[in-house]
Amino acid sequence: MKKDDIIQIFSDPELRIIKYIVKKLANMSDLQVLPNIYLQDFHENGLYFSQRILNYVSNHIKAQVENIAKRKNPDEISVLKYLNLLRFLEEDLKDSLKFDYTLRIYMKQGDDLAWFLGKNEGEAKEAILDWAYNFKWQASRIRKLVNMFENKELEIHAESQYIFLVGDIETLEKAVDKNLVQKEERY
């Protein structure tokens, strides 16, 4: 085996993107005629391809990375970044990944209630009623958001205290304009 023919690759079983890309690469007819391709569990600095391999696979990798980028799943984008694969994207698509569309409705309940307590000068009942009103208001905002996405694509990626929205970009931007969704710089 020639050194140039080595593809060094992460193979963390949690990294579904790697599995996805490797599977796609393996299905490429061009690659099947290359006898010396070797996938190695290795490396700290990303997914590397020798130039010789890259000549065969770059268009295909670009297409796969674009597919992943368009889904805008923040976890997947983090992995693409981690693997230094964003370099395969056109600038406009790369730019679009600089932002996340996030939904922020409430924080920690104790802190939220403390805020309403401060707002209502320490009056417990007033604070709780104000907090209750806020839940109703937030519920109405969420319903407005869903109505905006009628017949439009919308996906949610949620975990812990984060909610990321992915879907029709035009509608997401309108939701930002209406302060129903936040647009936050990613990095």
Partner 1 sequence: MKDKNYEYILSVHWKEGDDLVEHLKAQNNDAKKALISWADSMDQIALHLEKLVEIFEGKELKIEDATDFHISLNGDIKTLEQAVKLNLIYKQKI
Q: Where does this chain bind partner 1 (CB under 8 A)?
A: 103-111, 113-114, 117, 124-125, 127-129, 131-133, 135-136, 138-140, 142-143, 145-146, 149, 154-156, 158-163, 165, 167
Q: For residues 83 and 165, which CB has a smaller minimum distance to partner 1 in the complex? A: 165
Start-to-end Cα distance in the chain = 40
We find the least distance from the C-beta atom of residue 94 to partner 1, in angstroms, to be: 25
Closest CA to 155 of 93, 37, 71: 71
We find the least distance from the C-beta atom of residue 125 to partner 1, in angstroms, to be: 5
Q: For residues 51 and 161, which CB has a smaller minimum distance to partner 1 in the complex? A: 161
We find the least distance from the C-beta atom of residue 10 to partner 1, in angstroms, to be: 26
Q: For residues 58 and 118, which CB has a smaller minimum distance to partner 1 in the complex? A: 118
SS3 27: coil
We find the least distance from the C-beta atom of residue 156 to partner 1, in angstroms, to be: 4
CB-based contact 40:6 (threshold 8 Å) = yes
How many whole angstroms separate alpha carbon 66 and alpha carbon 169? 16
Q: Which pair of structure tokens corresponds to residue 125?
A: 């009942």
How many whole angstroms separate alpha carbon 81 and alpha carbon 46? 9
SS3 165: strand
**DSSP label at residue 88:** G
Q: For residues 3 and 108, which CB has a smaller minimum distance to partner 1 in the complex? A: 108
Q: For residues 27 and 140, which CB has a smaller minimum distance to partner 1 in the complex? A: 140
We find the least distance from the C-beta atom of residue 22 to partner 1, in angstroms, to be: 26
